[in-house]
Amino acid sequence: MTSVTLPRRDASTDRPRWVHPVEPARLPDRTKVEAALAAARAWHPYDGDSWLDDVADALDTVPPPEDLVDELAQRLRGYLMQLVSYALTSEAEKQDGRTTRLITRAREVREEELPGDYLKSVVHLRRMGWAVNELHDLLTELEAVKGPDSLKEGGTP
């Protein structure tokens, strides 16, 4: 505020009493706080090594067991969401034209339903794995995300 605070004399002590014009505190909207807490609880920190493991599982010559396909697909979808978010936040498409194409492909493959047939599901997992791998590599190159610790010199094996 730009108003001047004037002293007021307290009649009992004859000392000036300061009156400070402060607005009363307002509590935040409960629904907004709950939404922010839910988002914070759902957040998963960036872990490039776990991403590499899941991409390797999706792209391996030995397909994942049938009972793990749905779980792996969910994790890959989550990685695609995070990578697209990182790309948009860092404005990577302004640095490299390939980013727009990879973001579009990541969104398309993420939105596709996992086929009911096991072999078709493996093919879909591989498409998602490649999308994660290529977008992650480009964002690492553009320094929008850090590379996995295991790929750094002196990283954990």
Distance of CA 66 to the CA centre of its chain: 28
Residue with tokens 């990577």: 92
Decide if pLDDT at 10 tops 60.
no
Band (3; pLDDT cuts 50, 70, 90): low
Query: What is the three-class DSSP state of 108?
Result: helix
Q: How far is CA 141 from CA 30, 98, 136, 155, in A?
A: 41, 12, 8, 18
Query: What is the model's pTM?
Result: 0.69
Using CA atoms, how far apart are residues 24 and 26, in angstroms rounded to an integer?
A: 6
Q: What digits encode the pLDDT tens for the residues 91-137?
A: 888 888 899 999 999 999 999 999 989 999 999 999 999 999 999 99
